[in-house]
Structure 1
Amino acid sequence: MQHFDTIVIGIGGMGSAALWQLARRGQSVLGIERFDIGHSMGSSHGLNRIIRLAYFEHPKYVPLLRRAYALWRETEALAGEQLLYITGGIDGGPADGRIVTGALAACLEHDLPHEVLTAAEINRRFPGYRLPDGHAGVYQPDGGFVASERAILAHVSLAVAAGAQLHARETVLGIEPGNGRVVVVTDRGRYEAGRVIVSAGAWIADLVPGLAGTAVPERQVLGWFLPRRPELFTPAVFPVSNVATDLGHVYQFPSWGIPGFKIGLYNHFRERGHADHLSREPTPADEEALRRVIRACFPEADGPILRLAACLFTNTPDEHFVVDTLPGHPEVVVASPCSGHGFKFASVMGEVLADLATTGTSRHDLSLFTYDRFTAPAA
């Protein structure tokens, strides 16, 4: 049986970053991935993911984001390619709604540069938008996107160059902690380590049964549409955004990589279940759900469909992450689920997970992300 300092299970956004952070510290580390390295079965494909500082979900995320930006820049320099693209970002919706008030609270608490704009002001400044009267938005100039697929490969390449071992197309069947060590059992062998990081995304409850019912996979669909006026949807003039509309909460990107406006709808059709049973095949109904929002709020993007892609969110009841050691088994570090907003944090979460695996602590405030918060008795 092979022995390692740490084993990382799941080499997606967080797992690939953790693999790199451990390898650069001189750890003997093994990464195990059920699918290919850089696959389309999970949560990180589809070219890119939004990054933003005006974090309406909770102001406690902002310090993590500041570190994430710095680490994305460091990864770019080491990998020799651009991964972080700045477009500015809008968090919009009804002026008194959760997205606008939450983004503004994060900006004020952390002294982030920002502007509060009416719908009319947004539509004039960024004419790809057509937000309705009564809406508003917080514009924060540091918003943008991370090239998610390339970022995973960059982290993996850096980790391998630093000595990490990597096994793809190998399924973990079980984790056996005890006596300060962990045995990881797969369909190809058994491996022992002092610590294991479980970053298995939508499959995490299969390996950490205590998350069953708490980490719930949900099918999402992303669409790319050829704009009728492409000049309105370039990264230079179209900020990324999260917008609450009458048709749902949507998130959107300028044209990049694929020559089309990209849009997704949170809680798409609320299709939930085991990750192995959720369809990855998009349908005409998926396209129509996205196109309805385009017609209402981004009409100049209402052109031919270029691409549809299904991915998975893994949602917790409060939509915050789970990043913690397993109660009673500090040798097991649990990472995720991220409830559809986690990839931007991958760079810093790699550092956090490496710290938890090597020292058991983190310099960052992880109080939102405790493993047992859904079962712990109220104070």
Structure 2
Amino acid sequence: MSSSHYDVIVAGVGAMGSAACWHLARRGLRVLGLERFDLGHAMGSSHGLTRIIRLAYFEGSHYVPIVKRAHQLWQETGDAAGLKLLHVTGSLDLAPEGLGPVESSLQSCLDHDLEHEVLGRDEVMRRFPAFHLPEGHLGLWQPGGGFVASEKAIYAHVGLAQSKGAEIRTGEPMLDWQPTADGGVTVRTERTTYSAGRLVITSGGWIADAVPQLARSMTTVRQAIGWFTTRRPELFREGAFPVFLLSAEEGTFYGFPLYEHPGFKLGGPHFAREPMDPRQPDRTPSANQVRLIRECLARYLPDANGDPLTVKGCVYTVSPDEDFVIDAVPGVPQAVFASACSGHGFKFASAIGEILADLATTGRSAFDLSPFSLSRLDA
């Protein structure tokens, strides 16, 4: 077998891995990105045209500094690539008063001095008449929220990385890797064996194959997304309609303005995720998932409750506490990884790529990563 040497190998070129390739290559490093499928494939967590970005974060205020940096980097990356990646539409968190998500997002706003407005049910429906909300619902309006064009973001990161000399090889997954006596790594694929000074692992649902310490903690699940015919598309156009998260009796759902598809996109329910093996090729959502999405549309967004135009599944890798895991492989500081983003990671990808580049090159990050340590899962 032939052998080639790189400064850094990135295993998995989805949202996080493509960003890591760009941030490493722009620093003048020799980078190899290995992707098991095609670029922008629909077998993982990074497809579907759009992904929400929120600045206020009900999952915890500790996420806010990183998502603020991601927001900045999405704009800078789009400018560098000549693409519009970040669409600022405003965002709404919607939930019954007292349930928790609106109150937690509001606390993030207060902790980090984020622009926001608390809206009652009637005011939400006056501003955005597509919504039909029950009594008692509140909305948290964040004018800085919006969405990232997901596949375009991956293409932008890869194109920029290649412009700085990075090599990207698709259809070539990492089979296994080993640390070397000189403090580097070797990586084996079906084609050959590579060596590198550092390894970045961003392989999503396949992460436990590369980081066995995660195997006992991670769950891979199928999530449903669909695009549906709208009776009044003017209510859902970008500029008239925000991105949103809706907590309701049927579960937690998320939606977007119309973008590059004639249908209205709705995903969820977040807590009806169904375990699956990512090696299983079928990503088709279950009938139960689609039924719950249709029930959400009928009750809360009736003008988008038309025939389904496209229904897809994607794979989430979920940690027990649904927080990220970003760390070095135990005992192998030259190998760092990010995974188990639990269905809310894409918005952070531009910043996590930078974080991984920092960890791979200096062993440190400007952000407090202690909430995302691997060791917390054993506590």
AA matched with 2:67? L
Matched, 1:326 2:326: no
Q: Distance in 2 between matches of 1:278 and 1:78?
A: 35
Counterpart residue number, 2:317:
314
Counterpart residue number, 1:238:
241
TM-score, structure 2 normalization: 0.97
Return the offset for 1:147: 0.1
Change in CA separation of 1:268 and 1:98 when aligned onto 2, cut-off 3 Å: closer
Matched, 1:86 2:88: yes
AA matched with 2:195? E
Matched, 1:63 2:65: yes
Q: Distance in 1 between matches of 2:236 and 2:145?
A: 15
* 1:147 aligned residue (133, 146, 149): 149
Aligned pair count reads: 376
* 1:53 aligned residue (49, 52, 55): 55
Counterpart residue number, 1:260:
263
Counterpart residue number, 1:196:
199
Counterpart residue number, 1:270:
273
* Cα contact 1:220–1:268 (8 A) shared by 2: no
* 1:335 aligned residue (323, 333, 338): 338
Q: Distance in 1 between matches of 2:371 and 2:99?
A: 22
AA matched with 1:264? G
* Cα contact 1:222–1:309 (8 A) shared by 2: yes
* Cα contact 2:227–2:265 (8 A) shared by 1: yes
* 2:375 aligned residue (359, 372, 375): 372
* Cα contact 2:253–2:270 (8 A) shared by 1: no
AA matched with 2:4? Q
Q: Distance in 1 between matches of 2:238 and 2:16?
A: 26
Change in CA separation of 1:48 and 1:347 when aligned onto 2, cut-off 3 Å: same
Counterpart residue number, 2:225:
222
Counterpart residue number, 2:30:
28
Counterpart residue number, 2:40:
38
* Cα contact 2:250–2:269 (8 A) shared by 1: no
* Cα contact 1:218–1:267 (8 A) shared by 2: no
Q: Distance in 2 between matches of 1:367 and 1:257?
A: 38
SS of equivalent to 1:133: coil
Q: Distance in 1 between matches of 2:286 and 2:223?
A: 12
AA matched with 1:161? S
Return the offset for 1:267: 3.8
* Cα contact 1:99–1:243 (8 A) shared by 2: no
Counterpart residue number, 2:120:
118
1:121-156 Cα distance to aligned partner (Å, 9 max, x none): 111111111121111111110110000000000000
Return the offset for 1:283: 5.2
CA RMSD of aligned residues (A): 1.2
Return the offset for 1:190: 0.7
Unaligned runs of 5+ in 2: none
SS of equivalent to 1:374: helix
Matched, 1:302 2:281: no
Return the offset for 1:285: 4.2
Return the offset for 1:304: 1.7
* Cα contact 1:219–1:268 (8 A) shared by 2: no
Q: Distance in 1 between matches of 2:288 and 2:134?
A: 25
Q: Distance in 2 between matches of 1:348 and 1:166?
A: 20
